Amino acid sequence: MTWTRREIFLGGLASLGASVAGQSALAQASSYFDGNAIDNGVAFRRTNFARIDPRWRRQVVKYFSSEPIGTVVVDTRHHFLYLIMENKTAIRYGVGVGREGFKWFGRATIDRKSLWPRWTPPPEMRKRHPELPEFVAGGSAKNPLGPRALYLHRDGVDTGYRFHGTLEPGSIGKDASSGCIRMFNEDAIDLYQRCPIGTAVQVLPHIADQAGNAAQTSQPIPVE
């Protein structure tokens, strides 16, 4: 087959365009990070919160619920996790939730917590993605669980779902996971410190008006 000069030229432009697009996507992903932080002797990329929509940042909000103080409630529709506090308030975290076909709802408890957890892809995930490794060591830059994991059990049985950090801060506020609840790494560390073993969890499609306008971000109280 003989290529004309025009075909070679157009092919070169296409390759250049693909290369530029790839570099642009990589630069956009990198913009979600701002330097490094050290946690328990492990370095991880710090989230660039200047790049994050304010609604997804950790903050104290009004929250009306009959659930006991200390309960964690997840509103999957609006992509928020609430840790119920006293005086009709809650700490609200932006989260990423299961994509279509992977959502789940119901009650659970945090029966296990892990600092810099090892990630073992479940068998059904490895069937869908046979290229995945058998496991990724805790603290690895390729570990999707990040610095913390809180394991959700029901009636003493592991549900397979977790609250955990993420390698993709841009996925917070989206339906992006295989069912687990993703958090900014800094938020996963914060929630880990606040939730003891036995913490009650409720995952809902949405929470109606328990927190008023779920998208409201006026006058938030940041949580340090």
Active site residues: 164, 180
C-alpha span between 91 and 46 (Å, rounded) = 21
Task: Please give the radius of gyration of the chain, using alpha carbons only, rounded to the nearest integer.
Answer: 20
The number of CA neighbours under 13 Å toward the Cβ of 135 is 7
User: Residue 137 — φ and ψ, nearest 5°?
Assistant: -65, 150
The number of CA neighbours under 13 Å toward the Cβ of 54 is 8
Cα 49 → chain centroid: 14
